[in-house]
Amino acid sequence: MRKTLRIARRTIISLFLTVSLNGIVAAQTSAAAASQPATEPGLQRLEREIARLAKVSGGVVGVTAIHLETGRRVSLNGTERFPMASTFKVPIAVQLFTRIDKGEVKLDQMIEIKQSDLHPGSGTLSDLFNKGGLALSVRNLMELMLLISDNSATDVMLRTAGGAEAVTTRMRALGIDGINVNRSTAQLISDWIGATGLPPEDQWSPALFTSAYRAVTPEEQKAAGKRFDSDPRDTATPDGMAALLERIYRKDILKPGSSELLLDIMRRCRTGDARLKGLLPQGTEVAHKTGTIGGTTNDVGIITLPDNAGHVAIAAFVKASEKDGAERERAIAEIARAVHDFFLFQPRAGQ
């Protein structure tokens, strides 16, 4: 009996070590792939096409795309940092779901919205607040954050997730060094505009932001915008964001139900129809999140290819562009279509 127990213990320990080592090897393999250029001739051609299409944006473009079934990838400026804008709501959601999975937060937990919670870029919550006595569930606030990119909902969810530092710490725990979350959306927007001297957060209000932003001169705003483009805070590398999307898809960082709920909300995203989805065949499923501020236009997500050709995680960022938003969006749409078509017709290497 004792011999049987000893064998059972050794078997369990062996299985545990095998799973742990496999996870370490997989992470190392993924990191190595992210840092190496494509060697397959077809992928090299695709990278050159992405670089050509990127010129339409009038800015600096960063793209990483991973065919999730084969691990084949392409990248342009994959290790360069780009302002995430509202795409930072994806890592916020991951940390929030992590707390939900641990039982520290509940989806049906009600949260009271205060006057100080109403931040720039939040028409929905501002309208609801006028009715008084506003309290919404975590589930509802998360949908507002991801579906319509409501900034007030986002900052409440960031607080509920444990704050910006907790989000970045979670990214590091996942082995993702290319994502930094540092500020609330209200502070981020204020820094981009160049508004200074804001009081403590519990004194914020819509009237305060309006007054502070009106006090900034056009010259001050232009200088603040240039500083924003080179600020390492709230930035991501295309490699880092694509890696996070891949982990979400594989459902190995959250409980399956949480992973599926996050993907379901992202599939219903109501912003950015002219970006990743802009030139894809009608009906193509894309679970994504957009981001826009100043010269930055982004879209990150997972594209489902037809005919069982697999899925593509793609992070597309544009920064420091002086062209209008439509041209930046066109660049993202053209790149997404090129990536879509390549992996649709060549779902395996050597085809």
d(Cα 322, Cα 344) in Å, to the nearest integer?
33
d(Cα 191, Cα 198) in Å, to the nearest integer?
10
- Supply angle C-alpha 307, 66, 148, rounded to 5: 85
DSSP class of 58: S
d(Cα 274, Cα 314) in Å, to the nearest integer?
15
- H or E stretch at 25: helix 2-35
Enumerate long-range contacts of 340-346, CB under 8 Å, 24 or more apart.
340/280, 340/284, 340/303, 340/305, 340/312, 342/42, 342/46, 343/65, 343/67, 343/72, 343/305, 343/309, 343/310, 343/312, 344/305, 344/306, 344/307, 344/309, 346/42
Whole-model pTM over 0.85: yes
3-state helix, strand, coil split of the chain in percent (to 5) is 55, 15, 30
Q: What is the pLDDT of residue 13?
A: 35
Q: Where are the domains of the chain?
A: 34-87+233-345, 105-230
Contact (Cβ atoms closer than 8 angstroms) between residue 189 and residue 293: yes
d(Cα 182, Cα 153) in Å, to the nearest integer?
17
Q: What is the pLDDT of residue 22?
A: 40
Enumerate long-range contacts of 158-167, CB under 8 Å, 24 or more apart.
158/92, 158/184, 158/185, 160/96, 160/99, 160/105, 160/111, 161/92, 161/95, 161/96, 161/99, 162/95, 162/99, 166/95, 167/91, 167/92, 167/94, 167/95
User: Residue-wise pLDDT tens for the chain (351 aa)?
Assistant: 444 434 444 433 343 333 333 444 444 445 445 656 778 999 999 999 999 999 999 999 999 999 999 999 999 999 999 999 999 999 999 999 999 999 999 999 999 998 899 999 876 776 776 665 689 999 999 999 999 999 999 999 999 999 999 999 999 999 999 999 999 999 999 999 999 999 999 999 989 999 999 999 999 999 999 999 999 999 999 999 999 999 999 999 999 999 999 999 999 999 999 999 999 999 999 999 999 999 999 999 999 999 999 999 999 999 999 999 999 999 999 999 999 999 999 988 865
Could you tell me which of 251, 253, 273 has the C-alpha nearest to residue 264?
251
- Position 92: which residue type? I
Count CB atoms within 10 A of the CB of residue 31. 15
User: Which of 3.40.50.11540, 3.40.190.170, 3.40.710.10, 3.40.50.720 would CATH assign to domain 34-87+233-345?
Assistant: 3.40.710.10
Domains 34-87+233-345 and 105-230 share a fold: yes
Q: What is the pLDDT of residue 349?
A: 80
Could you tell me which of 159, 164, 200 has the C-alpha nearest to residue 182?
164
Q: What is the pLDDT of residue 25?
A: 40
d(Cα 124, Cα 113) in Å, to the nearest integer?
12
DSSP for 305-338, written as a single string? PSTT--EEEEEEEEES--S-HHHHHHHHHHHHHH
DSSP for 210-224, written as a single string? HHHHHTS-HHHHHHH
Tokens of 307: 């005919």
Q: What is the CATH number of domain 105-230?
A: 3.40.710.10
Is the Cα torsion angle 9, 10, 13, 16 positive or negative in sign?
negative
